[in-house]
Amino acid sequence: MDLLHSGGDGGGFEHCALCGALAAGPCARCGRPTCGDCCVLTEGGVGVWAVCTRCNRRGGKSLRAGWGAALTWIIVPILALALLVFAIEWAFGGK
């Protein structure tokens, strides 16, 4: 039994955004439904995910760019706060 159902527009199953066949699941990058023939497996991640061939042509099947962006969103604010604390301590530092 396929577990990917449509969003309420008739109660049927989702179809692949690329070829129209029954979809196996969403693309890990764009989220479009994709079938097993229109996807490739990812590389460089903890788990194995399916990426549609359209996203594979645009950026490859690696999800490293997404991980880099996520880590940047975490590390940059921490470094900015550390720099702010250092600047305040230097400006108003006690003896």
**pLDDT tens sequence across 50-70:** 888 888 888 766 666 677 888
The Cα 81–Cα 74 span in angstroms is 12
Prediction pTM value? 0.51
Residue 51 pLDDT: 86
Q: Any idea where the domains of the chain sit in the sequence?
A: 1-62, 63-95
- Nearest Cα neighbor of 29 from 9, 45, 15, 13 is 45
